[in-house]
A and B are shown apart, each in its own frame.
Chain A
Amino acid sequence: MKKALAKMLVVFAAALLIGAPQAAQASDLKGELEIFSWWAGDEGPALDALIDIYKKENPGVKVINATVTGGSGVNAQAVLKTRMLGGEPPDSFQVHAGQELIGTWVKADRMEDLAPLFKEQGWMDVFPEGLIKLIGTDNGIWSVPVTIHRSNVMWYIPANLKKWGVEAPKTWDDFLTIAPKLKSEGVVPLALAQNWTANHLWESVALAAMGADNWDALWSGKLPFDSPEMVKAWELFGKVLQYTNADATSLSWQQATDMVVDGRAAFNIMGDWAAGYMSTTKKLAPGEGYGWVASPGTEGTFMFLADSFGLPKGAPHRANAVAWLKVLGSKEGSDTFNPLKGSISARKDSDLSKYNAYSQSAAKDWKSNRVVGSLAHGVAANDTFKNGFASIMEMFLKTKNPQAASMACAQLAKKAGI
């Protein structure tokens, strides 16, 4: 009898101990939380998973998942900027970490400094230093990175390369050597899609042409935009463009990837969401089905873009929003969201067992490589520059004039305040 009672007590105590942390986590926050993002469609499930974690920890809060998609993110920008100008900020909104956030919102004094939150949650040691430098300013840190994508990746199908007898090029000179051979066999050496993918390609080429140091100097205003290095970058870009497909402007980025998968093209430079596309939709296995390498000339540099959430000043439900940010930056949140989305976590201590082969290799590079910011995805330059750059790219695609493009960039940079 006593033994049974004792056993019961032990079990009871154990249950209390196990159950207690759970009970302690559930907060008593009430009210609503409005999250503004452009994650819909196939990116929806990842966001839903994060919201589920949040709801478990904050069962009293009603989460409103306000998504605005379409127009390559421009519609979301329109809605968000209209609301912010009108004084109706959402509780938290998705934004590309880096200059897109800083140039638009931080310099206008609309965001709260999150450095205290970072210190409190111990994130200063968990996120790489290069990242924190790029997403913060002298006055603080302004958003919590949720995902990290890499921009400078070159994709190919190993079986096809073997068939054509070429290897993935390590520099652009290598590429320019093998490209004519591929072209003569009726294969497009480099698949390209509509305008923004040209920007995407440009930043890989420019990074290779001028090197990471010059790249950083460019965006901090130390290297002028019409310098010889820039002109050289545009010249190289023009040479590379000769080996892309003529109908590029009518294709979506998936259709360009399809060209590589189908064997109509050899290589494609795209961010690592292409890996997600090839694994999930095309059902190819990373490594055997498709292969990757850092885009030529950029081995050792990780050109990143990060989706992040910030805290606007005047958020209607500030406490709920801060709780949301805590979920985003946590290990659990990060490692739940990123495998579903196909990106990697920004945290250095991410649990790599949850990720596929590509992500694991990317995460390794993330920890060891030099980190630089992407232009096409809002890290390196602010909205004004990015918007004008699209027109400059269109102009270059038509005229192929490197000097004019550099001059235009210089003028644009002056207007954008770089």
Chain B
Amino acid sequence: MNQPLRVGNSPGAERPDQSDLHMREASLDKLKAFLTLLPSMILVGVFVYGFIGNTIWTSMTDWGGTGSMSLEPQKNFVGLENYIDLFTGFLGGGFRQDLVNAVYYSVMLLAGAVGLGMFIAILLDQKPKGEDLLRTIFLYPMSLSFIVSGTIWRWLLAPQGGVNVLPKYFGFEPLTFKWLSSQSAILVFNWQDSLRILVYVAAFVLIMVGLFKLKKDAGRAVKRWLIPGIVLGALVWVFGGILPDALFMEEEHGFNLATLGIIMATIWQYSGYTMALYLAGFNGISQDLRDAAMLDGASQVGYYRYVAIPMLKPITISAVIILSHISLKMFDLIFAMTGPDNAATGHPALNMYLTTFRGNEFARGAAIAIVLFLIAAMFIVPYLVGQYRQQGRH
């Protein structure tokens, strides 16, 4: 070890000096670490948080409409008025539909991309011939820009051509599903009931947690979770009318089947990514473990179901995070596939763009953006809390 030798000191007496030196070096190093991080911190602080703050401020003003483009536009503080208007105002119906669309879109995308990616990864994990080529085929959609893939998929899903016409080449009747122009919807609900629905959801969550905890501690589970949940649900059922209507007139929202086209296109584009994640994960599971599982009599399916996939839970989580943030920012694809004004496939990100730049309503657009940001934050906060707990345990 090359340490500075101090002449005349006994070995025992060296240590305090050394640890002094170490500590000084350590704090100097920590300073260097901090300084290395500093430029990024400043950049992110200004370019991200400064701008978020700016957007929050803008969303609480009335900047918009006539006169908004002047060099010194008039902006008056109006508090949460924009937000209230978005959720319960007459003209916010488009936004509310977009919000419902976004929820369905995100959920279906996550299920589809994770599921399909996992499936393909399992298939490729069998090491078939041509694995490299196949992997490239499944990965290449990620390399395309959304505008390009959106335009191509628009063609594919046009009712008069594209996918609908394909069966003709095999001798079948052409399909007649209207894809992106479909006006039908399932799971339709009335926005007026939204407060009631929220309470139902809360009751449902309570009951679910209670059932889950039943196994661990029956008494507490029943008292803390099940009973409140059931009581809440019953109350809403019977006395739901007490809760105010969220809107003064009926407004139906549901899962528009037109969104299926967009979901398909996004799954096509991102299954490769989840596939790559899972493939990497499978490769990481040591061969010994696999052999052991096989020896224990597990079938192929069983191996994956009970051993491999549970081991890869972190992958699933990180895939969910990345995909959810992509789906909440999704804009180019929807714009290219269905144009700016298709209510059935609208998305708040697109709505924000149009409201701000086509309608000159900057404050309202900022409010939509902040709502989106908060929803995205909801996805990442549990992950971060989990991370913190993990760090704490180490």
How far does the Cβ of B333 sit from chain A's closest Cβ, in whole Å?
Answer: 13
CA distance A395 to B160 in the complex (A): 25
- Of A74, A108, A386, A394, which one neighbours B357 at CB under 8 angstroms? A74
Whether, in the assembled complex, A361 has its beta carbon less than 8 Å from a beta carbon of chain B, the answer is no
Q: Report which residue of B68, B69, B340, B343 has the largest number of chain A beta carbons within 10 angstroms of its beta carbon.
A: B69
- B214 vs chain A, min Cβ distance (A): 44
Residues 186-212 (chain A) with a chain B CB within 8 angstroms: 194-196
Are B69 and A81 in contact (CB-based, < 8 A)? yes
A247 touches B160 (CB 8 A): yes
**Stretch in contact with the other chain, from B179-187, B201-209, B381-389:** B179-187
Q: Mark A393-418, 1 if CB is under 8 A from B, else 0.
A: 11101100000100110011001110
Task: Determine whether B354 belongs to the interface, using a CB cutoff of 8 Å to chain A.
Answer: yes
A107/B178 in contact, CB under 8 A: no
Given A249-B181, A250-B178, A408-B91, A384–B159 Cβ distance below 8 Å? no
Does any Cβ of B come within 8 Å of A103's Cβ? Answer: yes
Asked, given contacts A195-B339, A408-B90, whether A250 binds B179 with beta carbons under 8 Å apart, the answer is yes
Q: A249-B180, A394-B343 are in contact. Are A108 and B354 (CB under 8 A)?
A: no
B66 touches A382 (CB 8 A): yes
Q: Does A87 contact B (CB under 8 A)?
A: yes
Question: Does the CB pair A81–B353 fall under 8 Å?
Answer: no
**Is the pair B357, A415 in contact by a Cβ cutoff of 8 Å?**
no
Q: Does chain A have a CB within 8 A of B45?
A: no
Which of B71, B338, B361 lies in contact with A110, CB distance below 8 A?
Answer: B71
A332 close to chain B: CB less than 8 A: no
A72 touching B339, Cβ below 8 Å: yes
Complex Cα distance, B179 from A412, in Å, reads 31
Nearest residue (CB) in B for A314 is B71
**Is A40 an interface residue, CB under 8 A from the partner?**
no
Q: Is the CB of A412 within 8 A of B91?
A: yes
Tell me if B70 and A109 are in contact (CB < 8 A): yes
- Chain B positions 342 through 357: 1 when the CB is less than 8 Å from some CB of chain A, otherwise 0: 1110000000011111
Q: A194 contacts B339, CB within 8 Å?
A: yes
Q: Are A81 and B360 neighbours in the complex by a CB distance under 8 Å?
A: yes
Contact (Cβ within 8 A) A78 B159: no
- Taken together as a complex, chains A and B put the C-alpha atoms of A10 and B93 apart, in Å, by 79
Q: How far is the CA of A360 from the CA of B57 in the complex (A)?
A: 54
Chain A positions within 8 Å of B244 at CB level: none
Known contacts A249-B342, A398-B343, A408-B90; decide if A387 and B354 are in contact (CB<8 Å): yes
Q: Which chain B residues lie closer than 8 Å to A87 at the CB level?
A: 71
Tell me if B79 is interfacial: C-beta within 8 Å of chain A: no
B353 interface neighbour in A74, A196, A247, A393, Cβ under 8 Å: A74
Residue of B90, B340, B343 near A411 (CB, 8 A) is B90
Q: How large is the interface on A (under 10, 10 to 19, 20 to 34, 35 or more residues)?
A: 35 or more
> Does any Cβ of A come within 8 Å of B167's Cβ?
no
- Complex CA gap A107/B180 in Å reads 39
B178 and A246 form a contact (CB under 8 A): yes
Complex-state Cα separation, A411 to B85, whole angstroms: 12
B358 at the interface (CB under 8 A from A): yes
Interface status of A178 (Cβ within 8 A of chain B): no
Task: Give residues of chain B (128-174) contacting chain A, Cβ–Cβ below 8 Å.
Answer: 147, 157-160
Known: A104-B360, A383-B360. A398 touches B183 (CB 8 A): yes
B340–A247 CB distance below 8 A: no
Q: Considering only CB atoms, which chain B residue lies closest to A404 in the complex?
A: B249
Q: Is A77 an interface residue (CB 8 A)?
A: yes
Q: Across the interface, which residues of A come within 8 angstroms of B180, CB to CB?
A: 249-250
Question: Is A84 in contact with chain B by the CB < 8 A criterion?
Answer: yes
Interface assignment of B359: CB less than 8 Å from any CB of chain A:
yes
**Does A23 count as interface, using CB distance less than 8 angstroms?**
no
A74-B353, A110-B70 given; A250·B158 CB < 8 A: yes
B residues less than 8 Å from A394 (CB atoms): 94, 341-343
B282 CB to closest chain A CB (Å) equals: 40
Name B94's closest neighbour in chain A (CB-CB). Answer: A391
User: A395 to B353, Cβ gap below 8 A?
Assistant: no
Instruction: List B contacts of A255 (CB < 8 A).
Output: 160
Q: Residue of A at shortest CB range from B185?
A: A398
Chain A CB within 8 A of B65 CB: yes
Q: Which of A82-108 contact B (CB under 8 A)?
A: 82, 84-85, 87, 103-105, 107-108
Choose among A84, A395, A407, A416 the residue that contacts B343 (Cβ–Cβ < 8 A): A395
Which residues of chain A are within 8 angstroms of B343 by Cβ–Cβ distance? 391, 394-395, 397-398
Tell me the bound Cα distance from A296 to B94 in angstroms: 31
* Residue B310 is within 8 A (CB to CB) of chain A in the complex: no
CB distance from B36 to the nearest CB of A (A): 33
Chain A residues near B181 (CB-CB < 8 A):
246-250
Task: Using A250-B158, A383-B358 as known contacts, say yes or no to A417 and B339 having CB atoms under 8 A apart.
Answer: no
**Residue A388 CB within 8 A of the other chain:** yes
Q: State whether A384 and B158 are in contact (beta carbons under 8 Å apart), knowing that A85-B69, A390-B341, A391-B91 are contacts in the complex.
A: no
Contact pattern, A 223-260, Cβ under 8 Å of B = 1, otherwise 0: 00000000000000000000000111111000100000
Measuring CB to CB, which residues of chain A are less than 8 angstroms from any residue of chain B?
70-72, 74, 77-78, 81-82, 84-85, 87, 103-105, 107-110, 194-196, 246-251, 255, 382-384, 386-388, 390-391, 393-395, 397-398, 404, 407-408, 411-412, 415-417
Q: Which 7 A-B pairs have the closest CB atoms?
A: A387-B359, A108-B70, A195-B341, A394-B343, A250-B181, A249-B181, A391-B94
Task: Add 6 more A-B contacts to A194-B339, A388-B359 (CB < 8 A).
Answer: A74-B340, A74-B354, A382-B360, A383-B360, A397-B343, A404-B249
A-B contact pairs, 27 of them (CB 8 A): A71-B335, A71-B340, A72-B339, A72-B340, A74-B358, A77-B358, A78-B353, A82-B357, A85-B69, A104-B66, A107-B67, A110-B71, A195-B339, A195-B340, A195-B341, A195-B342, A247-B181, A250-B179, A255-B160, A382-B66, A384-B361, A387-B354, A387-B355, A388-B359, A391-B93, A398-B183, A411-B91
